[in-house]
Structure 1
């Protein structure tokens, strides 16, 4: 696959400005990468507000990573010859982005970066009044060029996917009956975002897709705490309690895309996928 991506050699330099305008970290990076690729997606970008703060402000993987992964998923859909390659490329590019981010921040998690529990008004007040929020603005400014470069490298034509590539996030999307483009956009969420074993990628996909549905019905407003995504998150918690990390849910960490594919093919996460897609009644864990 030839990436066909033309980018500014030095990368975007307006991260702080974009963040101030758009309001969330996830939307900021989604927008900035889409702009570099030449394909803005306003509705989809607004829907990514729900992933800000580490999935509906729960402190998991930084929203910038979720937003960037959606952007490379969209580019993989445009550029790849088939679904198998597109899934592989989306995961590979997400891994490149996450490695770049982790090298800069020494973590991928929102709470480690912000030192904030967004469910606590006191903690939020400290986040803003201490000026800690400026770190997030500066991070968007400084990391965006690296994110673009990492994305381009991950989308390169040096790809040799396994015969079959399956993403848990894409499987959820298919069950939800969304477009083929949307199923590939979330592909990089596989295995806890780039096979990292962190917070469930299938959950992130369902949250974003429900947010997208809400955005189509409700114009302009931020989707950060939209009721559709909240319902999905509540259903997940009811079924799986505090088990949010992919590594905890599956009992393993996937080293390769083949490992992840084999796990899903053998029925791993079937119940979770069905619950998130709302095709199976919710039953709490025994």
Structure 2
């Protein structure tokens, strides 16, 4: 039996007090960061390989089903506002299409051939990178997509939560984050999902830093899409360019980003 399907270390959950349930979940969640930490060498290798491809004009694609697919879509969708990159640079593809983000599409994950069709619709090419996300490490949708991508010459990686899975074996740069049994047996939206979210955050943040999308520790290319972000940008320009608030606002209005405002300070 896979680790993600193993029996919970807790039983009689329905008889527990609310506080006991929450403490149990929290106790299990504490194990996630430790498990992710053990996987840093493999995450690091994947980051470096993806950075090489993207530096040469490639893109990053995620594929997954259910929770795994949703996490890929979330991570991809957060890259443009955070780092100012085009929406098509990091793309999340979920089994069952965008409708599956909100409502599960039955059996969508069981079609081994559908992932590649979905990726072709996005214009994927041999220059690109594909990362499969599958807590179980055996999702047919993810497995089929990775196998075809590897045949086509794409760089392939994965994030799984079991050791020695078929998905890991299907790609060049696997990341295995083994978090152990879930609090509710088999509910991989919990620890496994948290581990995947943490890993994807580390992956894209590291890649974007290495691609020059961060200066110092600031998101200098972030999109100024709401009042909170504009206010943050004003403070960043004030600090980086040593100007007052009104001048920072003027520079941002003129140049449109923190990076340009600082670089073109008059």
TM class by smaller structure: under 0.3
Structure 1 length-normalised TM: 0.25
Structure number having the greater strand percentage: 2
Structure 2 length-normalised TM: 0.26
Structure number having the greater helix percentage: 1
